[in-house]
């Protein structure tokens, strides 16, 4: 299938820009959040609809304005008429401002492997099987990615990129005596300019609240439910027509078996959702706004809603140093053969001291790297790498150890490969294949500032005190992080997931948020990294499937061990959880090993996509870290994937 874009119902899709088969592309046209009436037209595979409905909580101005929602779908392995069809699961990768279409394009098949039943649908019967197979749907929230209009504070992408480059080159807080003042002035200039731009005309940034995105999610599941009804009717008609054709040839008439279907009733569709990081706040918001529309909701890497709404996010770093400690201890334990920073008989403290010395050496003596595109590796670059490493230790610990060891020998060649894409751009003379890096921070900041308390009261002195507080809380990333209620009525039980050492969403958040939703469950994954998908765990997959397929939550105090450790370290005997979970996956004994290998491969691919896409190392595409697809390929080759 091809990825097409249509800006309105009466316009033919433009020339496809890229192939992403077997992923089906879907695009919707909808009124932006401020009209009184919502009018949506979805282009699902082989189908098209139009729908009008009221949204009374929006004001009634600008009803002629529209947005185009970018949606990508990995179709289920069975048709919608099959009893084993589990429906759509909407995915949000976090941010705010993360692209759901990009994430599902990169990792949708792996996500589907995790949530689907292990059995091949071709070898199970429709009526007797308890198996479930799901659509995976990624969407770009308002102002983000393929959803148009996009949020921007600049007149063109090149200006946006150049500003981001200037901001990057100023360095992080603490990288020089002048860094704080310069960063403060740049943020003041950008924030004020961006705010003035949004106040004039119908700028999309005024309407990027999480609540409006939750409303879009409701419309997506509503339209999907309607499409499912008509699609089932279409399939039934095909079956009947085929039977009639056969009877005419054979003079024998037999009533065919047609799929059962429930008439479409607007207002009854329920959300199935897996949200990561900020995506947990989005799912939380949906549940509070539409409690009767919650089906199965998984909130992974949980954001504390109260802290988020206060805007400063001071509670996010409570577990950050646990991940750094995990790096030091794992590196020392595995030794020099697998961790380049571990000298013979080195302790965790030795590794920590060695790494600090390497990073600090760049403070006064940045490393020049000659080449076709000359580079200079700075103290801020090294700090950024360590920050991004914490998101996905399994994939990035070995890489970072190698890069830091090379820097110790004043060799920055490999490091330069990583950061050069952030400092260099070119545009193709014809076509749209080459695009200047787009400034995605505008959408992120617009969402955060629309959701949270105003911070316009803060002076540079207040900001300095706040920055020092974060650095004291987490020496590893506090200098980087600065750049950036009551319970509800009855809701279907949600599943909250947290890692024991998550750098930016501490485990305590999952328990605190779950307490606001009666009957919800918390699953703890005993691993380091951001969100459960940063580290494979067959145990976690088992509980995910039990919840999605049957609504069964893990028992209280359930802890899942990882199925793989950084640097290829050997799992302790207690991690036999991998074999204990297989019965949960309903796999026949003779097929369990094949199922285990398939699941681990999917989790490793997902972990890699999470690490090296815009959600991990790729986060730094404009912040001092470049795109890292090449590193992902090298990692996959090393694993034999």
Give the pLDDT confidence score for residue 239 in this predicted structure: 75
Backbone angles phi, psi at 44, to 5 degrees: -80, 170
How far apart are the C-alpha atoms of 480 and 277, rounded to whole Å?
Answer: 18
Residues 179 and 109 in one domain: no
Give the pLDDT confidence score for residue 63 in this predicted structure: 53
- 29-42 in b/e form (b: 16+ CB < 10 A) is bbbbbbbeebebbb
Backbone CA torsion sign across 77, 81, 87, 88: positive
Report if residue 551 sits inside a domain: no
Total domains in the chain come to: 2
How far apart are the C-alpha atoms of 297 and 250, rounded to whole Å?
Answer: 51
Residues 63 and 109 in one domain: yes
Residues 40 and 181 in one domain: no
CA distances from 284 to 217, 288, 329, 493, 584 (A): 13, 6, 35, 12, 27
Residues 169 and 263 in one domain: no
Report if residue 189 sits inside a domain: yes
Residues 128 and 258 in one domain: yes
Give the pLDDT confidence score for residue 425 in this predicted structure: 64
Q: Which position has the token pair 């890489």?
A: 399
Report if residue 95 sits inside a domain: yes
Domain boundary among 242, 269, 296: 269
Residues 161 and 234 in one domain: no
Report if residue 281 sits inside a domain: no
Report if residue 110 sits inside a domain: yes
Backbone angles phi, psi at 364, to 5 degrees: -100, -15
Give the pLDDT confidence score for residue 76 in this predicted structure: 94
Report if residue 182 sits inside a domain: yes
Residues 120 and 236 in one domain: yes
The tokens for 639 are 């694993």
How far apart are the C-alpha atoms of 167 and 159, rounded to whole Å?
Answer: 12
CA distances from 312 to 92, 275, 306, 453, 455 (A): 22, 21, 11, 9, 8
Residues 35 and 174 in one domain: no
Kindly list the averaged pLDDT for each block of 10 residues, start to end, along the chain of length 641.
29 32 31 27 34 33 67 92 93 87 89 91 73 93 80 76 76 74 77 66 71 88 90 81 71 64 80 94 89 94 79 66 92 93 94 95 93 89 87 88 95 88 63 48 58 50 54 46 42 90 91 89 94 92 93 94 87 58 62 80 85 54 42 45 39
Q: Which position has the token pair 């140093």?
A: 321
Give the pLDDT confidence score for residue 241 in this predicted structure: 73
Give the pLDDT confidence score for residue 102 in this predicted structure: 87
Residues 190 and 62 in one domain: no
Give the pLDDT confidence score for residue 179 in this predicted structure: 74
Report if residue 468 sits inside a domain: yes
* Cis peptide leading into residue 96 (ω within 30°): yes
How far apart are the C-alpha atoms of 548 and 551, rounded to whole Å?
Answer: 6
- Going by DSSP bridges, is the β-strand pair 521-528/559-560 parallel, antiparallel, or unpaired? parallel
CA distances from 203 to 23, 28, 200, 210, 451 (A): 32, 20, 7, 17, 17
Residues 139 and 197 in one domain: no
Residues 219 and 185 in one domain: no
Domain span including residue 120 = 24-150+208-269
pTM of the predicted structure, to 2 decimals:
0.79
Report if residue 52 sits inside a domain: yes
How far apart are the C-alpha atoms of 587 and 452, rounded to whole Å?
Answer: 46
Residues 171 and 77 in one domain: no
């Amino acid at each position: 299938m091809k990825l097409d874009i249509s800006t309105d119902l009466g316009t033919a899709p433009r020339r496809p820009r890229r192939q992403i088969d077997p992923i089906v592309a879907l695009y919707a046209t909808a009124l932006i959040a401020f009209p009184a009436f919502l009018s949506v037209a979805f282009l699902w595979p082989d189908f098209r609809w139009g729908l009008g409905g009221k949204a009374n909580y929006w004001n009634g101005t600008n009803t002629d304005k529209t947005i185009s929602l970018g949606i990508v779908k990995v179709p289920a392995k069975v048709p919608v008429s099959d009893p084993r069809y589990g429906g759509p699961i909407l995915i949000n990768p976090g941010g705010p401002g993360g692209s759901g279409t990009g994430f599902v394009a990169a990792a949708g098949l792996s996500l589907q492997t995790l949530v689907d039943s292990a059995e091949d649908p071709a070898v199970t019967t429709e009526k007797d099987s308890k198996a479930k197979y799901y659509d995976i749907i990624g969407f770009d929230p308002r102002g983000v990615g393929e959803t148009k209009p996009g949020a921007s504070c600049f007149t063109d992408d090149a200006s946006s990129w150049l500003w981001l480059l200037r901001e990057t080159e100023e360095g992080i807080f603490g990288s020089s005596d002048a860094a704080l003042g310069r960063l403060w002035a740049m943020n003041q200039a950008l924030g004020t300019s961006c705010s003035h731009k949004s106040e004039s005309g119908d700028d999309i940034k005024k309407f990027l609240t999480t609540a409006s995105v939750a409303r879009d999610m409701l419309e997506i599941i509503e339209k999907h439910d309607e499409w499912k009804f008509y699609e089932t009717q279409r399939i039934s008609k095909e079956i009947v027509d085929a039977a009639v054709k056969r009877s005419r040839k054979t003079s024998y008439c037999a009533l065919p078996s047609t799929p059962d279907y429930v008439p479409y009733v607007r207002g009854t569709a329920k959300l199935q959702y897996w949200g990561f990081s900020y995506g947990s706040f989005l799912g939380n918001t949906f549940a509070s706004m539409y409690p009767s529309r919650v089906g199965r909701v998984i909130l992974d890497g949980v954001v504390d809603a109260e802290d988020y709404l206060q805007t400063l996010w001071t509670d996010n770093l409570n577990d950050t140093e646990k991940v750094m400690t995990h790096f030091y201890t794992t590196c020392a334990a595995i030794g020099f053969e697998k961790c380049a920073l571990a000298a013979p008989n080195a302790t965790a403290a030795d590794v920590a001291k060695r790494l600090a010395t390497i990073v600090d050496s760049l403070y006064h003596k940045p490393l020049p790297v000659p080449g076709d595109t000359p580079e200079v590796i700075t103290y801020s670059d090294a700090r950024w790498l360590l920050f991004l490493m914490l998101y996905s230790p399994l994939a990035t610990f070995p890489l970072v150890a190698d890069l830091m060891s090379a820097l110790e020998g004043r060799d920055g060649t490999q490091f330069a490969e990583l950061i050069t894409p952030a400092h260099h751009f070119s545009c193709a003379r014809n076509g749209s294949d080459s695009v200047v890096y787009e400034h995605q921070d505008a959408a992120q900041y617009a969402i955060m500032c629309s959701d949270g308390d105003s911070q316009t009261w803060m002076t540079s002195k207040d900001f300095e005190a706040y920055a020092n507080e974060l650095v004291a809380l987490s020496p590893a990333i506090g200098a980087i992080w600065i750049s950036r209620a009551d319970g509800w009525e009855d809701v279907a039980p949600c599943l909250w997931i947290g890692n024991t050492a998550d750098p930016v969403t501490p485990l305590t958040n999952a328990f605190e948020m779950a307490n606001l939703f009666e009957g919800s469950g918390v699953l703890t994954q005993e691993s380091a990294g951001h969100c459960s998908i940063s580290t494979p765990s067959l145990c976690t997959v088992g509980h995910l499937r039990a919840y999605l397929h049957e609504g069964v939550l893990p028992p209280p105090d359930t802890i899942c061990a990882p199925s793989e450790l950084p640097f290829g370290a050997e799992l302790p005997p207690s991690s036999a959880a991998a074999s204990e979970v297989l019965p949960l996956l309903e796999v026949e004994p003779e097929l369990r090993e094949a199922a285990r290998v398939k699941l681990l491969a999917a989790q490793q691919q997902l972990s890699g996509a999470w690490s090296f896409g815009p959600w991990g190392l790729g986060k730094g595409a404009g912040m001092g870290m470049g795109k890292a697809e090449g590193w992902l390929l090298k990692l996959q080759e090393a694993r034999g994937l």
